[in-house]
Structure 1
Amino acid sequence: MAEQEPKDPDDAATRPTGSLRGLSDELTARVPELLEATTRSVGTGLELRSTLDRVCATAAELTHARYAAVGVLDESGEGLSDFVTHGVPEEVAHAVGHRPDGRTGLLGALIREPGPISLADLTADPRFAGFPAAHPLMRTFLGVPVHVQGELFGNLYVAEKDDGEPFDETDLHLLQVLATEAGIAVAHARAYEAARQRERWIDGSVAVTTALLSGGDADEALTVVAEQARRLADSAAAVVLLPAEQGGLEVVAVADGDRGGALGRIVPHRSPVVAALLRGEAVFMDDATTDSRTITRLADGFGPHMLLPLSIGGRVLGALAIPRARGSRPYSEAERLLATQFAAQAALALMMAEAQRDRERLAVYEDRDRIARDLHDLVIQRLFSTGMMLEQAQQRSAVPEVRAGVGRAVDELDVTIQEIRTAVFALQQEHAETPGGLRARVLREIGMAAVPLGFRPSHRFLGPVDSLVGELAGKNLIAALREALSNAFRHAGASRVDVGVDATATLPDGREAVRLSVADDGVGIPEGGRRSGLRNLARRAESLGGASWFGPGTGKDGGGTTVYWQVPL
């Protein structure tokens, strides 16, 4: 839609917006009524999109036009970020496809030189660049600028007057009055929308803080960060990355069902994006797929992209990536600011959760030290005394069978004392001194779970676990074991837990796999009970090409639960 500058200096198109000079006495008398009706129809409701829809509908009604539209300027002021129409059927709009961007043709000229314009035949204007395929034919055209708080917001257009005649002076002035009222309504809608947007981001920050400090599974809490960021930013996906041991950033949480395979992927430290994020700098891209700073395929198919450091007090804890689909609108300055504040709040909650987990680990280590002291100072001494008493009884007995039986009991006590001493040594080892093999890490998790459970779970290994299971599979297996043991402690009320790691398992497609099983004799999973931990286990397994499921436990008549977690070696 566009217009040609009238050559007559007295033409209505050259008069100042809102002027009523030259109108008929009948129209002048109706102006207060029209103003009230316009305010009533345009100013109802506060959502910006619905406000623009009402502006278009009212413009068409007042000027008896078949079509109406509002072109909204983008942040640069050189093109259109939105184009709201009235009178164009949905199927026609779909057939037309891409809406005008306002950078070329008649609409572009109106943006560069805003002002009222009236055209009897817009197709004859030299600035007209033609209609797209399936676009409705239009000839008569009228347009006026819309200002919001003194700044150009966009243009209001009408086309194709019902009687086929050109738009007249009355139509122009009615449209100018409507544009003034629309500017006021848009200002209110913008303020309301900005307040709602800030409120949503604040609510999202609260949800993230609650998830991180709830004491639940850390991976699940990080998934909450990603899910909230994706919802609030209206993005195609959201990814949380944490520093990797070998450098760079590792994907630890993804909010996008189609990209679960990205879990565990590492963006290397040589990436310019990683370097900027680790310096605490935010990175913004208009098209992540073509941006030269991306060196991995994780950005494939994405367009506008925000990559924000999760930093607090100069310390970078990780990063948050929030991409939109290719071709989507870029992030506005307001969205970038709100997302940056959200990332800062998430970083604070992440640091507080880390400190909380450190305190919990310290409490576990203190309990382990106390248990080790009690075992060494009380239990071993008492067993040693019992063994001496049995040896004395053995010497005094004249019955060979009794002496042989007492001797076997003394030998068993010696073995028990050695096992307890081994357990004491393991309990007193520092975390950094603990062997790093998968078998040792499984035993460490079992030992740490013994404190909250009140007993030590049993364990069994099948196959050469340390040599067959890869680092990525082993790392995720430990996280799955930690989640399953935590569920057994928090929900099962079990008196027995059995842990199995089988490196000789196979997947349905024949690939070699490692299978983790954690069986208990507790209360089982009640119907409709909380299963977020089980879903988290399933997501982790599926991201590696495996699966997770559960079945009957080891209690009487199959009571309790057995959790299975299986991935390729």
Structure 2
Amino acid sequence: MTDAGRRPGARQPGARQPEELETASLPLLLEAVLSVGSELELRATLQHLVDSATELCSARYGALGVIDPERGRLTELFTSGMTEAQRAAIPRLPDGPRDLLGPLSPLADDPRPPLPDGTGRIGVPIRVHTEVFGNLWLTEKRGGPFTDQDLALLRVLASQAGMAIGNARLYETARRRERWIEGAAAVTTALLAGRPAADALMCVAERARLLADAAAGVVLQPTPAGGMEIVAASTHADPGDLVGTAIAPGSPVLEQLLGGEPVFIEDSATDPRMTTHVRERFGPSMMLPLQSGGQLIGTLALPRARGGPPYDAVDRLLASQFASQAALALVLADAQHDREQLAVYEDRDRIARDLHDLVVQRLFATEMMLESTRRRSSNASVADPVGEELARAVDELDSTIQEVRTAIFALQQPPSDAPTTFRGRVLRETGGAAVLFGFQPSVHFAGPVDALLPEPVAGDLLSALRGALAAAHRRAEVTAIEVEVEALPSRVRLTVADDGRTPSGARGTTVTWESAL
């Protein structure tokens, strides 16, 4: 009977049937399948796979090469039967072409195969759904060459391994997503706790670096010149040389970031789009725009070390989601800070109004009554000690009114912003001196100082005030300082008096500075 006349599946004389071979090897195959499917962690699953395949087919050496579907090359290599010395001798992952249909593997075309030459080798592709995940291959079978049965067993194991690898990848992706979500929640909580702006950016950079397993995490913000500058950096070592590094305007990377698009880089040191001096130390990198509601806050960059593993699609997706969440948290934190500042301003305005409407008015009315009483008393007697006491009380009330008015003005100034008026700048100088002296110097203003003083005169007066306060600090036993600024239509006078002891033993010093307007 010719081949064409034979019935499909008919037994041929003396031939060993696949069914018989599979039955004999079924216990080993089942054990191998169970071993491969017993792990949820991806790397452990892959190592179990190559170990089980090597044992199932009685091979001396086995290898599993994981293929990067985006780049078409090996990203990881798992081996079985190799010593540590042999494994360490592999200089790099081979770049040979992958053969998905037969026993040839990506390593077969490499001039330096990492496994010893043997009596033959077999290999099969491992597919997860329709995607080729990698190649599994064996070499040096004990007791003879590899048979069709070995190849059949290997294919069955690879088929089952594809499902186990798919489950492990889903589990790993879920765990990674969970870590990124927890990190984003931690950043949001920290930012909404009221941290300063610099600490908030540092929190984002550090948390993202840890989650991405990056060598550095940096946050860049736009500069007035149109570039971007690193304002916060987190690294394993001192990040001082990173802060202040700027991307020049017109850079292709910058244009993409300013347009709200992420930038993914294979090697920062060799990519022509990277122009900063720190790029030499980094390899794969992600640069993600921090934007919310169309507003670009900055950029989150996560570079890995030279030679580090590239970011895969899951890394890029999770990091992009983290950047969006962090940008929203930064906007909310900034809005919360503004609300808190507004509440402080409103409270200070209320206190200032109460002081002006209640305290100052009552003090002024009391001063007027005392002044009237003093005048009546002085008219009734030539020498009246009560009149003198009343005069001193009036002077004290007038001084108190000036102090309260100064406090009202200070309350009306933003608590954290640099003052823009001359009164505010004088109060800032005396407030700084209070830290050194241990008490607050008394400050009096007479006349419209903010309206009359031009900027050059105001600068000279502030310099004179600093010098007088510094001189008072050098004197001993200073317990009180009075600062008075008097502005007249034609001149301004600064008087600084203290009760400190001079080197000659005298107590009390007064310094006067005067300038024409």
The two structures share one fold, judged by TM-score above 0.5: yes
Deviations 1:442-476 (A, max 9, x none): 977999xxxxxxxx9943499xxxxxxxxxxxxxx
Q: What secondary structure sits across from 1:263 in the alignment?
A: coil
Q: Mapping of 1:11-160 within 5 angstroms? A: 22-23=16-17, 26-76=20-70, 78-94=72-88, 96-101=89-94, 103-104=95-96, 108=97, 111=98, 113-117=99-103, 127=109, 129-131=111-113, 137-140=116-119, 141-160=121-140
Give the aligned partner of residue 210 of structure 1. Answer: 189
Please say if residues 249 and 268 of structure 1, whose CA atoms lie closer than 8 Å, have aligned partners that are also in contact. Answer: yes
Cα RMSD for the two superposed structures: 3.7
Give the aligned partner of residue 502 of structure 2. Answer: none
C-alpha deviation, 1:223, in angstroms: 2.4
Q: 1:167 aligns with which of 146, 153, 171?
A: 146
Please say if residues 268 and 279 of structure 2, whose CA atoms lie closer than 8 Å, have aligned partners that are also in contact. Answer: yes
Q: What secondary structure sits across from 2:255 in the alignment?
A: helix
Q: For the structure 1 residues 25 and 348, does the alpha-carbon distance in structure 2 shift closer, same or farther, using more than 3 Å as the test?
A: closer
Q: Mapping of 1:54-453 within 5 angstroms? A: 54-76=48-70, 78-94=72-88, 96-101=89-94, 103-104=95-96, 108=97, 111=98, 113-117=99-103, 127=109, 129-131=111-113, 137-140=116-119, 141-163=121-143, 165-244=144-223, 247-261=226-240, 262-392=242-372, 394-395=374-375, 396=377, 406-429=390-413, 435=419
Please say if residues 410 and 427 of structure 2, whose CA atoms lie closer than 8 Å, have aligned partners that are also in contact. Answer: no
Q: For the structure 1 residues 211 and 194, does the alpha-carbon distance in structure 2 shift closer, same or farther, using more than 3 Å as the test?
A: same
What code does the residue aligned with 2:195 have?
G
Q: What secondary structure sits across from 2:125 in the alignment?
A: strand
C-alpha deviation, 1:392, in angstroms: 4.3
Q: For the structure 1 residues 361 and 22, does the alpha-carbon distance in structure 2 shift closer, same or farther, using more than 3 Å as the test?
A: farther
Looking at structure 1, the residues matched to 426 and 102 of structure 2 have their Cα atoms a distance apart, in angstroms, of 76
**Count of aligned residue pairs for this structure pair:** 420
Gaps of 5+ in 1: 1-20, 448-455, 463-503, 505-569
Q: TM-score, normalised by structure 2?
A: 0.72
Give the aligned partner of residue 17 of structure 1. Answer: none
Identical residues among aligned pairs (%): 49
Q: What secondary structure sits across from 2:118 in the alignment?
A: coil
Looking at structure 1, the residues matched to 333 and 401 of structure 2 have their Cα atoms a distance apart, in angstroms, of 39
Looking at structure 2, the residues matched to 436 and 336 of structure 1 have their Cα atoms a distance apart, in angstroms, of 46
C-alpha deviation, 1:271, in angstroms: 3.8
Q: 1:459 aligns with which of 422, 435, 446?
A: 435
What code does the residue aligned with 1:79 have?
R
Looking at structure 2, the residues matched to 276 and 339 of structure 1 have their Cα atoms a distance apart, in angstroms, of 17
Give the aligned partner of residue 496 of structure 1. Answer: none
Q: For the structure 1 residues 264 and 129, does the alpha-carbon distance in structure 2 shift closer, same or farther, using more than 3 Å as the test?
A: closer
Q: For the structure 1 residues 434 and 41, does the alpha-carbon distance in structure 2 shift closer, same or farther, using more than 3 Å as the test?
A: closer
Looking at structure 2, the residues matched to 213 and 228 of structure 1 have their Cα atoms a distance apart, in angstroms, of 15
Looking at structure 2, the residues matched to 405 and 250 of structure 1 have their Cα atoms a distance apart, in angstroms, of 66
Please say if residues 23 and 170 of structure 1, whose CA atoms lie closer than 8 Å, have aligned partners that are also in contact. Answer: no
Deviations 1:543-565 (A, max 9, x none): xxxxxxxxxxxxxxxxxxxxxxx
Please say if residues 38 and 181 of structure 1, whose CA atoms lie closer than 8 Å, have aligned partners that are also in contact. Answer: no
Q: What secondary structure sits across from 2:180 in the alignment?
A: helix
Please say if residues 32 and 53 of structure 2, whose CA atoms lie closer than 8 Å, have aligned partners that are also in contact. Answer: no
C-alpha deviation, 1:58, in angstroms: 0.3
Q: For the structure 1 residues 389 and 232, does the alpha-carbon distance in structure 2 shift closer, same or farther, using more than 3 Å as the test?
A: same
Gaps of 5+ in 2: 1-14, 439-469, 471-517
What code does the residue aligned with 2:404 have?
I
Greater RCO, CA 8 A, separation 6+: 1
Deviations 1:113-143 (A, max 9, x none): 3233289xx99x8x45134xxx563323222
C-alpha deviation, 1:385, in angstroms: 2.8
What code does the residue aligned with 2:125 have?
P
